[in-house]
Structure 1
């Protein structure tokens, strides 16, 4: 099967698929043997299910960085007003910046909204004034510092029962 066909393939999830996904959500490095034992199936079955789920783009197992453990203590949502360039072009430039981890072209008060992380107030000042502010087309930045993060779920994806 070529990659294009795999991307467009719809996969109906049965109880085994859902069990594999649930266990890998708890521990993405869980051995297939342990998954098989938990679900009462063979290791070969688990291996085949994971392969099918990954090839159909139904599931991906990825590493997620703990941003605080990596030294980023400040989280900001930043609205970006654009002038003189297409918002998509400015968004592409913003997406190349290491501290920017989410970029969205939007309709509303701002043209682009980004989420950024900073290590400390000094690096935040440099990020806002020197890095973000120097991108051609950026007219105005409207930062909002997160003072209490109630939910940050980077592994969230819609998941419906079969």
Structure 2
């Protein structure tokens, strides 16, 4: 990626992180530039994959009131296969490779505790999963998309 963001880009990103539907005219006014400048910068940020325009869903509003973070220990040479299998499961909303004893970490959102149990049974059938550590989320205090 060759595109280097500057302070104006950071300002645009920060404002859009708070409200993705904020009018360009309001951003321009706040950052003391023209609306045309904001439109061009926004287009560059999207084209250079620095920002992505998506609707963020509140899982609780959809009835997904239970969640868990699960650390997975996998067999030698099986990370890619397990990661691919997990990415096909609807309940999995986040997958990352980590250091340490458990090379994969996932986060799931489901309707209730029974669904967490059912997910564990489903995950247990994935070839390459040796063991796992399940951390039940009791309450979420912060979930932000602001990075600047």
Normalised by the shorter chain, which TM-score bucket?
0.7 to 0.9
* Structure number with higher relative contact order (C-alpha < 8 Å, ≥ 6 residues apart): 2
Gapped regions of structure 1 (runs ≥ 5): 1-7
User: How many residue pairs end up in the alignment?
Assistant: 148
Change in CA separation of 1:156 and 1:33 when aligned onto 2, cut-off 3 Å: closer
The corresponding residue for 1:9 is 2
The corresponding residue for 1:136 is 127
Distance 2:116 2:11 in 1: 42
1:33 match: secondary structure? helix
- 1:149 matched to 2:110? The reply is no
Gapped regions of structure 2 (runs ≥ 5): none
TM-score by length of 1: 0.79
Contact 2:74 2:131 in 1 (8 A): yes
Q: 4+ runs of 1 displaced by more than 4 Å?
A: none
**TM superposition shift of 1:113:** 1.5
Change in CA separation of 1:105 and 1:39 when aligned onto 2, cut-off 3 Å: closer
Q: What are the equivalent positions in structure 2 for 1:26-37 lying under 5 Å apart?
A: 26-37=18-29
The corresponding residue for 2:94 is 102
Range moving further from structure 2, 77-86 or 99-108 = 77-86
Distance 1:103 1:23 in 2: 27
CA RMSD of aligned residues (A): 2.0
Choose which of 67, 71, 78 in structure 2 pairs with 1:79: 71
Distance 2:112 2:40 in 1: 46
**TM superposition shift of 1:111:** 3.1
**TM superposition shift of 1:47:** 0.6
